[in-house]
Amino acid sequence: MHDLTILSAVLASVVAAATPLLIAALGELVAERAGTLNLGVEGMMIIGAAVGYATAYGSGSLVLGALAGILAGTALSLVFAGLAVWLAANQVASGLATTILGLGLAGLIGAPFVGTKLTAVPQLNIPGLTDLPVIGEVLFGQDAFAYLSILLLILVWIGLGRTRLGLVVRAVGESHSAAHALGHPVRRIRTLAVMFGGACAGLAGAQLSLAYTPFWASDMTAGRGWIALALVVFSAWRPLWLLAGAYLFGAVSILQLHVQGFGLGIPSQLLSALPYLATISALVVISALKKGHGAPASLGVPFVPDR
């Protein structure tokens, strides 16, 4: 029974670690399916974490904190959209500049809150279900962010694959010239897709500062935004594959913590690098298997209307 309790706790922690990756990657997937490569995810996550924490700490409301994180990520995404979509600037450079801006603003906003702590977002507790062995805590003992991530996954899967709006978004990502010729507002669609990605990144950041580690630290995203970008490639731009990828990388993140606890003598620096080594390894395997065919044809290509 003790072993089952440990297994349940480990699996529950994997879900918690995977949640911000899944949320941020879902937003980036929508942006990329519309043809926009947003490398500013890391900056949008950290600004969401900072603004979300500051709002929750000042107001005493975790809900307001989460909403503020969403708004902050969306606001920063508009900076990127203005550069990359409307001014047709290089998307890689615009995304990197957005990340640097987000990191700087987050450090400024979060400075007064260093050393403070919040009460974490409460976890669901359903008598009789949460206490089930192994699966109880995993399925019925998570916080609201975990369940929201699954809801977002379902909405993105249905929205992209089974609705007219999703068809238009995918058409813009595949051939923005053809979509423009058919009368679709390409730049407006890409802007909305980028805003959705920014909102998701801000929500993922808020999850980190309000639920996963309910305190503020200037480097708390720790590269998760870059991992989210890699997950989109890992999933071949398919929402359901994204779920498996996020939980796989969440498991790697948790594994390095438990290996440290076992005292195996492995350098802590190497263990801390495991999630990023796994990211690089996955991308190498994907390249070898030529899985990149799922990328939208117009991904990263600026659109300048000819009329």
pLDDT digits (tens, 9 = 90+) for 92-110: 999 999 999 999 999 999 9
CA–CA dist 277, 92 (Å, integer): 23
Segment 162-182 mean pLDDT: 95
Within-domain flag for 2: no
Within-domain flag for 268: yes
CA–CA dist 193, 182 (Å, integer): 19
What does the block give as tokens for 83? 């550069």
How many domains does one find in the chain? 1
Within-domain flag for 302: no
Residue with tokens 């994204």: 242
Within-domain flag for 299: no
Helix (H, G, I), strand (E, B) or coil at 32: helix
Within-domain flag for 240: yes
Within-domain flag for 230: yes
Lowest mean pLDDT among 149-153, 235-239, 248-252, 283-287: 283-287
pLDDT digits (tens, 9 = 90+) for 131-160: 777 787 888 889 999 999 999 999 999 999
pLDDT band of residue 290 (cuts 50, 70, 90) is: low
User: pTM for the whole thing?
Assistant: 0.92
Torsion-angle region of residue 61: left (phi > 0), alpha (psi -120 to 50) or beta?
beta
Are 232 and 25 a contacting pair, CB within 8 Å?
A: yes
Q: Is the pLDDT of residue 255 over 90?
A: no
Query: What mean pLDDT value characterizes the chain?
Result: 89
Are 24 and 46 a contacting pair, CB within 8 Å?
A: no
Q: Which domain holds residue 231?
A: 8-294
Residue 46 sits in a domain whose CATH number is 1.10.3470
CA–CA dist 169, 179 (Å, integer): 9
Within-domain flag for 257: yes
Percent of the chain with pLDDT over 70: 91
Within-domain flag for 303: no
Segment 191-217 mean pLDDT: 96
pLDDT band of residue 262 (cuts 50, 70, 90) is: low
List helix spans (H) across 34-134: 41-59, 62-81, 91-110
List helix spans (H) across 141-209: 144-162, 164-174, 176-181, 186-207
